[in-house]
Amino acid sequence: MTNLEKGGITMPKLNVLNVSGQNVGEIELSDSIFGVEVNGHVLYEVVKNQLANKRQGTQSAKTRSEVRGGGIKPWRQKGTGRARQGSIRAPQWIKGGIVFAPKPRDYRMAVPKSMRKVAMKSALTTKVQNEQMIVLDELSFEAPKTRIVVDMLKALEAKKALIITAESNEAVYKSARNIEGVSVIPANNINVYDLLKYEKLIVTKDAVSKIEEVYA
């Protein structure tokens, strides 16, 4: 990665590669998206929000009032030599109810749109600064072919990678879906968690333009 001075502003600049890993040009990245000050706390909040929203919240267990049985005192209060018991469905009994049993709940959290935007820019900047972003001149297949993607990843020295295309591309998606640690996503569906989760970010030139258009 190099930085280009333009009107007093440092513009991030990356090499553009083809699927064989050969340098075929350069691209200037928008400083307002790929060169911002990274806000670690906002990244944490947005990732926490995404993970919370993914939770189903369907966990459920029965309390002592919901388990079957226990309507009668198992033995009299005094005179048996045993500890007093009021119900065979008390938590200390086998098949008894659960204390503070988990119940279905909604884990969803609200995050302001402006915070998500800051987090997205911070995540993209992090990838550029750490030299973990690769720009491709193009990525298109006539038919799904996993071998092409495997060879491309080998040429780009990328194992765990997120491939970002400008539009939804079924051929690219089907070519990469069986490769462990690799995922394909269109530019309008990118999210902070996936950007940080994958080691390498492989983005087509058209996808870069679309990202800059959306987050400008």
Q: List, in order of start, the domains of the chain with CATH numbers.
A: 2-55+110-215 (3.40.1370.10), 56-106 (no CATH)
Gap between the Cα atoms of 169 and 20, Å rounded:
20
Q: Are 135 and 17 in contact (CB under 8 A)?
A: yes
- Residue 176 DSSP SS3: helix
Beta strands in 47-198 (DSSP E): 133-136, 161-165, 182-186
pLDDT value for 11 = 72
pLDDT string in tens for the chain (216-residue length):
555 554 444 678 899 999 999 999 999 999 999 999 999 999 999 999 999 999 999 999 999 999 998 788 999 999 999 999 999 999 999 999 999 999 999 999 999 999 999 999 999 999 999 999 999 999 988 889 999 999 999 999 998 999 999 999 899 999 999 999 999 999 999 999 999 999 999 999 999 999 999 988
Predicted structure pTM score: 0.81
Question: Strands 2-6 and 9-17, how do they pair?
Answer: antiparallel
The secondary element (H helix, E strand) that includes residue 212 is helix 205-215
Residue labelled with tokens 């009021």: 86
